[in-house]
Structure 1
Amino acid sequence: MDGAQHEHGRDHEKVAAAIINADKAIGTVLDAIESSGLKENTTVLVVGDHGMSDIHTVFRPNMLIKDLPAKFVAAGGSAFLYAKKGVPNTEFAGIVQSVSKQLDALPAERRKLFRIMDRKELDKMGADSSAVMALAAVPGLVFSGAVQPAKIVNLGPGTQVQQNPLEGLFVPTTGGHHGYDPNSPEMYTGFIAAGAGIAKGNVVEGLCVTDIAPLIAELLGLEFKTPDGKLVPGILNNSIINQTIK
């Protein structure tokens, strides 16, 4: 599904075919559980790692800062700025100011496609502490770390964005990508839990991917302290909860 959406976007017949294949694979696992005689003692979790957004434009921010001792590393709908090796911390503020000035000078219709995130906001999100700043795109815009057009090389899903052969700071594209602000609804993914220890018919409003590990640990009766995940109420049935309290 990820590969099909990268290549064609969210709504395409090949994406539908990929969903059917994934569904069949889950059915194979469920059939194996049933035939093994372990259904009553088995829990099944169906999870995703991220959502997907259709994309229409590629932005190459490194083309603006070729003369600065810093470089953007693109991650789909995000781009993180890193100072080059050997640059002292005392120069970071000047680099951020210079980069921000060039970004803010872009035409308004382009500038509105992304926002600048300072180190304070990145700290709140738990983002890479090595980055001096970052850019967050609105869904539809995707970043590239390239500084010039390049021949398209297919190195896997999503890599053609990095190898766009067109000239320009902003160039049109098609397909899909992720890496946007995780609070964007288009980045939400799915979660299904069923079987032993799971409450039937419950619906949870939301959870984070970091909440999966505490849930699995609880189901297996393991002591596993996670730094950022939590056990979301409403997933486990009372028997599991009572057993844990005892």
Structure 2
Amino acid sequence: MIRHTPVSDARKLMRALLVLSVPFFVSACAQIAPQQPVPAEAVAGRPPVILVSIDGFRPDYLTRGVTPNLNALAASGARAEAMLPSFPSITFPNHYTLVTGLRPDHHGMIGNTMEDARILPNPRFKLSDRDAVGDRRWWDEAEPVWVTAEKQGVRTATLFWPGTDADIHGVRPSQWLPFDGKLPADTRVDTLLGWMDKAPSHYGFYTLYFDDVDHAGHDFGPDTPQAGEAAARVDAAIGRLLAGLKARNIVANIVVVSDHGMASISKQRQIRLDQVAPADSFRTITYGTSGGIQAQPGKEAVLAAALLKPQQHMQCWRKEDIPARYQFGHNARIPPFFCLADVGWMIFPDEERAEKMRDGGAHGYDNTAPEMNALFIASGPAFTHTVLKPFDNVDVYPMVMSLIGVKPLANDGSITPLLPALKTSGTQ
């Protein structure tokens, strides 16, 4: 039997159903729709963070008289005596550590070159391979700042940072460009400032990347005039950034870091793996300051016997036996055998590749070696003037997340070593 409800009662019933259904509808939409960007006026109340990387910049470059802008930035805020890179002290692993707070062993970007049989049809990663670099599967073992920020409603703009060429976890920064190593330092700054002109209050997090100093360090060595000239060139670009911000009345928290330092190398300091182990017993996945080595089928015992005995200017381990202090050796992408050269020495698989070596600079050595020390400078309304004791680069991530007001994911870092540099109001 159908009971006819009076019109007034029907309206009451419809209102009640509507009230009950709205929370369900909103909840359902929240589950299926991406979170909307934080309104401009909400972001405007918190200074944006500009995370700047100067690849290969050692802290002692600040003492060479060629970096007035960086020195002024440090004088107005905080700097560290040194920041310790994670192991291995190379570019992609440490850039990903800085924006995830995870050691390479945990975030999966364990080298500039690596292999992963699970990633087909191209199971080999090289930083020069644009397709591999843009394949999110190499990066998806972690989630960088810009992905988490975008998910939590804070828009981001990244100008060249390892990982930004890929849609990690299916998310890209609101503004980004594919990496272009030929783009001059000044043009990079102008591009970033141009993004600010379009939406100055919409972005809570920016990245900026310079590779001039790293290239000069590799090509000529860290103690050369060319390295100083590169440092001066990037310093001028930093000055351009500061002037551009001032002209736009943009107050930002600027964090300048490097991924690692640089050590001098010489053709006279070489280690040949084919003189340590039979040439038919191994293949090298990586070589240089360290060696990632795979035994040929049936040759594991032969290779182990050759590598694991004491070596001159090099130490070798099975991956599971790499000393705990390196916090490295458990990720599936790390080869079964791993060798590390003494600072200043280089590992090559054979004579052909050893002959191509030239004097210059290299990194990737023990991450606690002074030559591998990285730069840390921070200035802006969140920072007070201080000189920090050396700390690990995993600690940068929780600080950055606090500054942009985004909840960090689980990580290997701690904000505690950086608290002396922070004003209480700066992280609110």
Find out whether 1:100 has 2:308 as its counterpart. yes
RMSD: 2.4
Residue 240 of structure 1 deviates from its aligned partner by 3.5
8 Å CA contact retained: 2:253, 2:378: yes
Contact 1:10/1:176 (<8 A) preserved: yes
For residues 19-41 of structure 1, give each alpha carbon's deviation from its aligned partner in whole angstroms, at most 9, with x where no partner exists: 100100100111111111122xx
CA separation in 2, counterparts of 1:139 and 1:98?
A: 22
1:122, CA displacement in angstroms? Answer: 2.6
Alpha-carbon distance between aligned partners in 2 of 1:93 and 1:222, rounded to the nearest angstrom: 50
Shift of 1:239: 1.6
Whole-Å separation in 2 of the counterparts to 1:2 and 1:184: 17
Question: Does the CA contact (< 8 Å) of 2:272 and 2:354 recur in 1?
Answer: no
Q: Tell me the CA shift for residue 131 of structure 1.
A: 2.1
Amino acid at match of 2:262: M
Change in 2 beyond 3 A, CA 1:176/1:189: same
Q: Does 1:214 align with 2:416?
A: no
- Is structure 2 residue 236 aligned with structure 1 residue 36? no
Q: Secondary structure at the match of 1:50?
A: coil
Retained in 1: the 8 A contact 2:319–2:337? yes
**TM-score calculated relative to the size of structure 2:** 0.44
CA contact (8 A) 1:62 1:71 kept: no
C-alpha spacing 1:79/1:176, structure 2 compared with 1 (3 Å):
same
Q: Quick one: which of 132, 139, 144 aligns to 2:348?
A: 144
Q: Distance in 2 between matches of 1:203 and 1:221?
A: 25
Q: 1:38 to 1:80 in 2, by over 3 A?
A: same
Question: In structure 1, what is the equivalent of residue 264 of structure 2?
Answer: 54
1:131 is aligned to 2:322? no
Q: Give ranges in structure 2 of 5+ residues lacking alignment.
A: 1-212
| Alignment match, 1:153 | none
- 1:86-109 CA deviation, whole Å, 9 max, x = no partner? x58xx75664224335xx4xxxxx
Query: Residue in 1 aligned with 2:56?
Result: none
Alignment correspondent of 2:255? 45
How far, CA to CA, are the matches of 1:184 and 1:100 in structure 2?
A: 23
Query: In structure 2, what is the Cα distance between the partners aligned to 1:119 and 1:134?
Result: 6
1:130-158 deviation digits (Å, cap 9, x = unpaired)? 3222211111101224x242xxxxxxxxx
Say if 1:207 and 1:93 are closer, same or farther in 2 by CA, change over 3 A: farther
1:21 matched to 2:220: no
1:213 maps to a residue whose letter is Y
Q: Which residue of 2 aligns with 1:159?
A: none
Cα pair distance change 1:137/1:98, threshold 3 Å:
closer
Q: What's the counterpart of residue 382 of structure 2?
A: 197
Q: Counterparts in 2 of 1:66-105, with a 5 A limit? A: 66-68=279-281, 70-84=282-296, 87=297, 92=300, 95-101=303-309, 104=310
The 8 Å contact of residues 77 and 137 in structure 1, kept in 2 or not, is answered as yes
Secondary structure of 2:280 counterpart: coil
Match of 1:230 among 414, 417, 427: 414
Kept after mapping to 2: 8 A contact 1:217/1:223: yes
CA distance in 2 between partners of 1:54 and 1:97 (Å): 31
Is it true that 1:114 corresponds to 2:314 in the alignment? yes
Deviations 1:146-176 (A, max 9, x none): x242xxxxxxxxxxxx4624xxxxxx84111
- 2-structure distance, mates of 1:193, 1:185: 21
**Matched residues in 2 for 1:48 and 1:24: separation?**
17
* Equivalent-residue separation in structure 2 for 1:230 and 1:138 (angstroms): 30
1:32-83 deviation line (CA, Å, top 9, x unaligned):
11111122xx100110001111012232314533121x32333432112223
- 1:216–1:173 CA distance, 2 compared to 1 (3 A): same
Runs of 4+ residues over 4 Å off in structure 1: 91-94
Query: Can you give the 5+ residue segments of structure 1 that lack an aligned partner in the other structure?
Result: 105-110, 150-161, 166-171
Aligned counterparts of 1:134 and 1:78: Cα–Cα separation in 2 = 7
- Post-superposition offset of 1:123: 6.9
The number of equivalent residue pairs is: 207
Whole-angstrom distance in 1 between the partners of 2:369 and 2:321: 16
- In our comparison, the structure showing a higher alpha carbon Rg is 2
- Which residue in the other structure is 1:176 paired with? 361
Relative to the length of structure 1, the TM-score reads 0.74
